[in-house]
Structure 1
Amino acid sequence: MATPEFILELRKNIGHAALSLPSVTAVVFGEGGRVLLNRRSDDGRWSLLAGVLEPGEQPAAGAVREVFEETAVDIVVERIVAVEALPLRTLQNGDQVYWFETVFACRAVGGDARVNDDESLEVAWFEPAVMPALDERQTRYLAMARDVAAPPFFVG
């Protein structure tokens, strides 16, 4: 994932120390329940679309921006799936991050899916029965997003 300029400036002062950052994940549904995924350039794994929010950016607007930046697909955000503070993660460059994640169920409304930046190796729509494996957390987010009657997930 390309590191936003404001984080690079912060890292000049704090080095690799733990930083809490707001992020969004978009579960994007298309025709027939297909799901839009990208194969990330940082680890080569297939993933739901995600990214860090810019300072002052609303989470839903950030999800729309991130999906378009990575895939050239226009979306509308339909509902919150989950809000969750994730455990400390050390990135490949040594930076430590506590992601504070808001997950949205979204619907594609335009654009042709393609690699649109350097954060993705591939971008593709997948039928639910033939999706690549996602990590445990993203698999949970996808299941919750598919269940339109499910209340948003959060830890109390």
Structure 2
Amino acid sequence: MNERWKPSVTVAAVIERDGRFLLVEEHTPEGLRLNNPAGHLEPGESPEQGVIREALEETARTFVPDRLLGLYLSRFQRLATGEDVTYLRIAYGGTAGETDSTRSLDDGIERTVWMTLDEVRASRDRHRSGLVLRCIEDFAAGRRFPLDTVFADQSLFDPELK
């Protein structure tokens, strides 16, 4: 019997300020890569809660989502290990506060960088995936869906539910 296919769910934040986009430079098995502040959705949290948490962990900034950018599917094959993963990325746009100097960046995050759209485009070879630029391009194009497009049922937060 075949095992059921399950994509890995991730959330990502696209943050723009004064014509620049906030990215993280992170260590990966493929080397130092640029990414949107992003990460895996954890059990018991909504996608919106997850993106707020991930942005804070990776940038030390409070993220306030104001739009859903879209849902993105991509497949990644790691050459060194043969790992083959399909990701479902839920991307949000919004604003971020100033850096909280009392917080450290998440393990694996080298630094945050602000880049213009042209700089992001010029650095494609350093992106963690093709979704980094795609999400930023969608933000720049004005793509916007209401936050309540993604509904999180209360059962998600019920630890007693079996």
TM-score by length of 1: 0.71
SS at match of 1:41: strand
In the alignment, which of 131, 140, 147 is matched to residue 141 of structure 2? 147
What is the Cα deviation at residue 74 of structure 1? Answer: 0.8
Matched, 1:117 2:103: no
Give distance in 2, aligned partners of 1:116 and 1:29.
19
Conserved? CA contact 1:75–1:110, under 8 Å: no
Aligned match of 2:87: 99
What is the Cα deviation at residue 57 of structure 1? Answer: 1.3
What is the Cα deviation at residue 147 of structure 1? Answer: 2.3
Aligned match of 2:132: 138
SS at match of 2:44: coil
Q: Which structure is larger by alpha-carbon Rg, 1 or 2? A: 2
SS at match of 2:135: helix
Conserved? CA contact 2:67–2:144, under 8 Å: no
Task: Map 1:41-80 to 2 at 5 A.
Answer: 41-42=27-28, 43-80=31-68
Aligned match of 2:23: 37
Structure 1 spans left out of the alignment, 5+ residues: 1-13
SS at match of 1:79: strand
TM-score by length of 2: 0.69
Aligned residues: 135
Conserved? CA contact 1:19–1:97, under 8 Å: no
